[in-house]
Amino acid sequence: MNVGAILLLTISTLVLVVLLILRGRKGPRPTIRPLPAFQHLKAQVGQTAERGGTIHVALGSGGLYEGDVTLSLAGLQTVKALAGDAISYGVRPIITVGDPTLLPLTQDTLRRAYEQCGLAQQYDPGQVRFIAPSPLAYAAGAGHVVAAEDVTTNVLAGAFGAEVSLIADAGARNDLDQLAAAATPGAIGALYPTTGHLAVGEELYAAGAYTTGERRYLVSLVAQDILRVILVLGILGAAALAFING
Amino acid sequence: MSRLVKQWIPTLIATVTGLIVLAGYLFPGQLLVYYQGRITQWRDVLIEWAVIVAAFAFALGLLNILHVHGGRVVHARKGWFYSLVLLLAALAACVPPILYGPSGALTQQMLNYVIGPLGASLAGLLVFTLTLAAFRLLRVRRSVGAVLFVLIVAVVLLGSTPFVGLEWLADARDWIISVPGMAGGRGLLLGVALGTMITALRVLMGSDRPHSEF
C-alpha cells in the first residue's frame, strides 16, 4: 500500500511536471510566491563586495548517497546562483561541506562558475572545504571558518540539525548578515532566532527558482505548490470522511 | 564530441542509474514478476558501487584537509597554529587504527575517552548557543512571533524540569509537543517529501544536471 501510494505520487508528479513544462515552453513565465530569504540573496552579494569581505556558504552534513541528497542538491543551487555574482564582484566565496561525497561536486560547481566568468586561473580548490563527517564537529569547524576568515555574509543552506546553532552563533557574534534555509524542525528552531531571512521546509527547494529565475526551476516550484494543495485537500477530505463515519 | 562526453553521457548514466534504483524499490513483487528479481539485483550492485565511490570520497576529503591546513601552516597564514594542531591530531588519530585495527583496544579507548567526550561537550555547548540566540531574538526582533517563540521555549524547558509546583507546565509541554508541534512537524515532512520528489525527478529527467559540464 505504501509503495503503491509512493508510485502513484511519483507518476502523478512526473506527469504534472511534464505537462507544465510543455504548457510553459512558449507561454508567460510562471509567477511564484515571494520568499524573503532568497529575494535578498543577490543583493547580499553586492553588499559583501562593497564591504570588501567574503561570503561563506555552509552546505551542512548531507552527502550524495544517503537520505539528504536532495537537500544537498538544493544547497548546491544556492552556491551555483551566488558564485557567479560573487566572482564577478571580486568576492572569493568559501564553501564548507560536512560530507566528502559532496566535496568534488561543489568544487566542480565553483570551478564552472569561475570559468563562466573568464577567471578560471583564479579558482582555488581550497575554497571548498571538507570540515568533518560528524554533524557537531562540522558545525564547530564551520563556525570557526565564519569567525576566523574575513566573512561578512553567512549563508546556510542544506542538511542541518540543531547543531547549526554553533555556526549561526559564530555569525551573530561577528554581527554578520545571515541567510538560511533548512528543512528539519531542529535546525529551523535553532535558526529562527538568529536570522530574519529564513526559508523553512520545502522552501529550501525553491532556491533555484529565485536565484536563477530559470524556467525549469519555476515550473517545478509551481508543480510542487499544486501538489501540496492537492495533498492538503486530500488530508482535509480524509479527516472529514473519518469524522462523518464516526 | 566534447558536448557528448561532458553533457550527454553523464546525464544518461545518472538517469539510467536513478531509474533502475527507483524501479528496484517501487515496483511491487506481484508486478513484473520475471523482471523484479533482476532489477533488484542491478539495484543492489549499483548501491554497492555507490558505497565504494563514497569510500574514495573520504580519501579526497582527507586530501582537502591536508591541502587547506597544510597550506596555511607552510605559508604561516592567520590561524596557522590551530591548523598545525589539527594536522597533528589527525595524524595521531590515524596511528591506533593502522597499528591495532578499527576494533583494537587503543582505537576503542581513543573513541571512548577522546572523540566521544569531545562530541558530548560540543553538544553541551548547544544549550548555551540556543539560549543566547533566544536572548538576542528578544533584543533584536521584538515581534509577536519572537515573544511567542521564547514563551513556548520557556514552557517546554520548564515543563521538562522536576520542580515541585510546576507539574501543570508538564501537561502544557506535552500538549505543545503532541498537538501543534507534531502537526507542524508533519506538515514540514510532507512539504520536504514533495520537494525531494520534484528535485529527484528533475535530476532523473535530465532537467537538472549538477553532474554534467553544461
Helix (H, G, I), strand (E, B) or coil at B203: helix
Determine the Cα–Cα distance for residues B158 and B169; give it in Å rounded to an integer. 7
Strands A177-182 and A54-60: unpaired
Determine the Cα–Cα distance for residues B116 and B27; give it in Å rounded to an integer. 42
| B131 part of a folded domain | no
Q: Which residue has the higher pLDDT, A106 or A40?
A: A106
- Average pLDDT per 10 consecutive residues for chain B, totaling 214 residues: 75 84 70 66 86 88 92 90 92 90 90 90 90 86 88 88 80 91 89 85 77 62
Give the total number of structural domains in chain B. Answer: 2
Mutation choice for A interface testing from B83, B128, B198 by most A CBs within 10 A:
B198
Give B57's contacts (C-beta < 8 A, 6+ positions apart): A63, A99, A100, A101, A103, A104
| B85 part of a folded domain | yes
Q: Which residue has the higher pLDDT, A170 or A20?
A: A170
pLDDT of residue A3: 64
Determine the Cα–Cα distance for residues A171 and A152; give it in Å rounded to an integer. 9
Task: Give the torsion through C-alpha atoms of A182, B177, B157, A134, to 10 deg.
Answer: -40
pLDDT-based confidence at residue A96 (cuts at 50, 70, 90): very high
Beta pairing partners, A31? none
pLDDT in tens, A17-39: 666 666 656 666 777 777 777 87
User: Within this chain, do residues B153 and B205 fall inside the same structural domain, yes or no?
Assistant: yes
Arithmetic mean of pLDDT, A107-124: 92
* Domain parsing of chain A, residue ranges: 36-213
Architecture per CATH, A36-213? 3-Layer(aba) Sandwich (3.40)
How many angstroms away from the CA of B199 is the closest CA of chain A? 6
Determine the Cα–Cα distance for residues A115 and B47; give it in Å rounded to an integer. 33
| A26, three cell numbers | 512558449
Interface of A with B in 131-170 (CB under 8 A): 133-134, 136-137, 139-140, 144, 148, 162-163, 165-166, 168-169
| B198 part of a folded domain | yes
Question: Cell numbers 535530476 correspond to what residue?
Answer: B203
Predicted TM-score (pTM) of this structure: 0.86
Question: Cell numbers 591541502 correspond to what residue?
Answer: B67
Question: Which chain A residue's Cα is nearest to B135?
Answer: A193
A142 pLDDT above the threshold of 80: yes
| B126 part of a folded domain | no
> Across chain A, what does the average pLDDT equal?
86
pLDDT of residue B86: 92
DSSP assignment of A16-74 equals: HHHHHHHHHTTSPPPP----HHHHTHHHHHHHHHHHT-EEEEEEES--SSSTTHHHHHH
Output phi, psi for A5, to 5 deg.
-65, -40
Of A136, A185, A205, the CB nearest to B119: A136
pLDDT of residue B35: 64
| B214 part of a folded domain | yes
| B113 part of a folded domain | no
Of B26, B129, B199, the CB nearest to A169: B129
Which structural domain range is residue B84 located in?
Answer: 1-100
pLDDT of residue B213: 61
User: Within this chain, do residues B89 and B145 fall inside the same structural domain, yes or no?
Assistant: no
A2 pLDDT above the threshold of 60: yes
DSSP assignment of B120-163 equals: HHHHHHHHHHHHHHHHHHHHH--SHHHHHHHHHHHHHHHHTS--
A153 pLDDT above the threshold of 70: yes
pLDDT of residue A187: 93
| B18 part of a folded domain | yes
Task: Give the torsion through C-alpha atoms of A136, A137, A139, A141, to 10 deg.
Answer: 170
pLDDT of residue A24: 59
Interface of A with B in 48-77 (CB under 8 A): 63-65, 69-71, 73-74, 76
Cβ contact, residue pair A216, B207, below 8 Å: yes
Measured at the CA of A35, the angle between CA A32 and CA A36, to 5 degrees, comes to 145
pLDDT of residue A121: 92
| B127 part of a folded domain | no
pLDDT in tens, A207-232: 878 877 777 788 888 888 888 888 88
User: Within this chain, do residues B3 and B72 fall inside the same structural domain, yes or no?
Assistant: yes
